[in-house]
Structure 1
Amino acid sequence: MISRLPKWVELGAFVLALVAGVVNAIALLGFENQAVSHLSGTATLLGTHLTNPSSALLHLVLLLVSFVAGSAVAGALLHGATLKLGRHYDTALLLEAVLLLVALGLLYFGSYHGHYFASAACGLQNALATTYSGAIVRTTHMTGIFTDLGIMLGARWRGEPFDRRKAQLFLLIISGFIGGGALGAWLFREYHFMALLLPIGVCLGLAFLYRVYLVEQRFDSTE
């Protein structure tokens, strides 16, 4: 049951959703209105360009490939589909920060290649969110979260028990993503692409905190 998971799961999911919301807002405002935290719109745009090929076709393909490549990196690091202490979550977060830093540098100097690194960072983060006791959790897009929440409400109306903690987790992710979008929009107006420094710093901070937590847990287990 999800109720057995540590409380930091909710906090981590909220912060990661906030990061994704910030990055995606900056993308929408600064990357020619191109989202990078999810692929539904990008895949649709790719389909429309197939009927009328243009220079944007290759760009869209590379965005998709970059997202998948980021996810593949996380898959190679984490070796599984369930939450488990000791996996390389800190390494994945450090790599996400590096990808966002490269994206920032490229975009700051006017190179659209930064889009691909930002997309890879989101793909990597999305693969970090795993299957938590039957709850498929994703932090870079909300379609599945809203769908699962609706399924839970429908099951409750049918008389099935309602998992309050799972619902709380979903609502935290939704609020984090929306709040991140608002924060990202404000930061972009004030600092343009330098706004990416916030999600970079958050990823580095999460990696550090996870490492400290891991060391403490191992120390406690030896006592």
Structure 2
Amino acid sequence: MIRSDRRTWPLAISLAMLAGYVDAIGFQHLGGYFVSFMSGNGTMLAVHLVRPGTMGGGAAMLAALLGLFVAGVMAGTLIRLAVPHGGQAAVLILVAVLLALAGLASWLAWGMAVAMGAANATFERDGEVSIGVTYMTGTLVKIGQHLAQAVAGGARWRWLPYLLLWSGFMAGAALGAWAYPAWGMAALGVATGGAMLAAAAAWRSRPVF
């Protein structure tokens, strides 16, 4: 997870908030399916496959969301490989474009899953994700690990950035839960603007050599 200097934390927390916001909108719009939380979709897919009538029809949608998320990760990673010094900003521009398109028509709503997959390529080191901004289970594990280390006499505050990351996701999800009933898919306009602001911040902090 967070193996970066403190300058990355504000951007990471902002993107976690964006992910929570989009996931809450997608969850409501798609009737109980996630566009960011793929572990949940995986569990539901397994239940559908083993007990097809348990939760109604939806295995195809779940499989599609999982595939689109992976496609987004691939797209974001390829951008990072192609644009070594401005890759973060380029990935976030892609995220903004996908979210803007998803807000235009119901059949484009699938773009939310692609965007959330791509967002995870924002923080990469040596070809691996260094900060996951759309999945929080690992973040909770890190909170627990670092709290245990603090109790045992280790670093006292290494758990704090992970708590802020998780809190950002939760705050974003709460905002998305409020925004969708009020504005519908037009609420993705806020997410699009947020992704563009994040892209500008990433561009300003990019390496210049």
**Number of residue equivalences:** 203
Contact 1:22 1:180 in 2 (8 A): yes
Could you tell me the TM-score, scaled by structure 1's length? 0.80
Amino acid at match of 1:46: L
Specify every segment of 5 or more residues in structure 1 that has no aligned partner in the other structure, as ranges. Answer: 80-84
- CA–CA distance in structure 2, aligned partners of residues 154 and 37 of structure 1: 29
Counterparts of 2:23 and 2:45, CA distance in 1: 19
Residue 91 of structure 2 contacts residue 121 of structure 2 at CA under 8 Å; is this kept in 1?
Answer: no
Runs of 4+ in 1 over 3 A off after TM superposition: 129-132
Unaligned runs of 5+ in 2: none
Match of 2:177 among 174, 185, 200: 185
Q: How big is the shift at 1:213? A: 3.6
Query: Which of 161, 165, 190 is the matching residue for 1:169?
Result: 161
- C-alpha deviation, 1:55, in angstroms: 4.9
Is contact 2:18-2:191 (8 Å) kept?
yes
CA radius of gyration, larger in: 1
Establish whether residue 198 from structure 1 lines up as the match of residue 190 from structure 2: yes
Q: Which structure features the higher share of helix residues?
A: 1
Q: What's the counterpart of residue 66 of structure 1?
A: 68
Matches of 1:71 and 1:212, distance apart in 2 = 23
Match for 1:125 among 119, 130, 153? 119
Sequence identity percentage: 28
Q: Which residue of 2 aligns with 1:78?
A: 80
CA distance in 2, matches of 1:19, 1:96: 11
Cα distance in 2 for partners of 1:131, 1:156 equals 26
CA contact (8 A) 1:18 1:177 kept: yes
The AA in structure 2 aligned to 1:99 is L
Using structure 2 for the length normalisation, give the TM-score. 0.85
